[in-house]
Chains A and B, each alone.
Chain A
Amino acid sequence: MRCPSHENLSAYVDRELTLSEMQKIETHLQDCLTCRIEVARLEKLIRKFNVLAETDLPIPNMYNPTISRKNYRWAAAAVVVLLVAGSAVFFGLRYNQSSVAEMEEELQYFYNNHKDYVRSQSTAPITLVSWE
């Protein structure tokens, strides 16, 4: 039997030939040192690919389902904290603004009722500060 093509030897190593083709090549290999060497070289290369497939490219955390789920939990916790903090700041500011408005009213009331006293205590014109 003539030597099989290198293409067929490559497919033989992958076990991707029909059963009869595989058997023909196996029979041939028993008598042909050249083809046996070629098969051994191919197998060695494929073993290297197998190693590469096993060791290559650690997948980033964002594509790792387990770690991603943990990240979602942290993200959810962060959102809750931000909402609470944001609410506190928002309502705090509103409270401060209403307090200022009340103070302004009180000052205005005091000023209206005690104009003479205030003028006697200060020469500078009195202006109410706006917080807007």
Chain B
Amino acid sequence: MALEERLKDHSLVQKLKAGDEDAYAQLCTEYSGKMYRLVCRLAGPEDADDLVQEALMQLYKSMGSFKGACSIGTWIYRITTNVCQDYLRKKSRRSWRHLFSLDWLSSETNKEVPSLDFEPSERAEIRDDLDKLRMAIAKLPPEQRAVLVLHDLEQLTYQEVADVLGIVVGTVKSRLFYARRKVRSMLEGGV
């Protein structure tokens, strides 16, 4: 993390610990969108609003216990991920197929492939694959999905993923490998 970001984080943490409501509002404004996206990716959109609210409540309650050992972003991801895992655990009696509806995957998302550095043929192939890819991620076991979403979609490093999930880097590496292998085989097998 850059020094400037660390200082900004430090200043925000001090304000939060002092019970500054404006700092909390700033935190919510800055991160609630990211939290919503993470919740949708980990637990589906069905109860996403409630889960974000729950995570924000837990953030508020646990502000005093934040030691600053990791960045605020990592801390927020950890709380949000824990809320999602609790939610999935409570629903674990049901099959993963019913954990959340997959209809939203094709209806609410942007179909346009962004202007990254792709050949035209590859762009077309990727566009066709996106729905399958979303479906494949949704079908992963929760612990593999969490690692893959945090690393490959939220762009966290192995160490950050380990911090968020409370596991060692070696486990991140291993889960990510198995998650990718499953996704690839689902894509090749038509999901």
Contact = CB atoms under 8 A, between A and B. Distances in A.
For chain A, which range describes its interface: under 10, 10 to 19, 20 to 34, or 35 or more residues? 20 to 34
Given A16-B157, A63-B32, A55 B130 contact: yes
A55 B180 CA distance: 19
A52 B32 contact: no
A52 B180 contact: no
A7 B112 contact: no
B151 A14 contact: yes
Contacts of B121: none
Contacts of A22: none
Contacts of A52: 130, 133-134, 153
B36 interface: yes
A59 B52 CA distance: 13
A51 B33 contact: no
For chain B, which range describes its interface: under 10, 10 to 19, 20 to 34, or 35 or more residues? 35 or more
Given A10-B173, A46-B152, A48-B133, A60 B36 contact: yes
B6 interface: no
Contact of A6 (B32, B154, B181): B181
Contacts of A48: 126, 129-130, 133
14 contacts: A7-B177, A11-B176, A45-B183, A45-B184, A47-B116, A49-B152, A51-B113, A51-B114, A51-B116, A51-B126, A52-B130, A52-B133, A54-B116, A55-B109
Please provide the 8 A-B residue pairs with the shortest distance between their CB atoms, ordered closest to farther. A49-B152, A63-B33, A7-B177, A59-B33, A10-B177, A55-B110, A54-B114, A53-B153
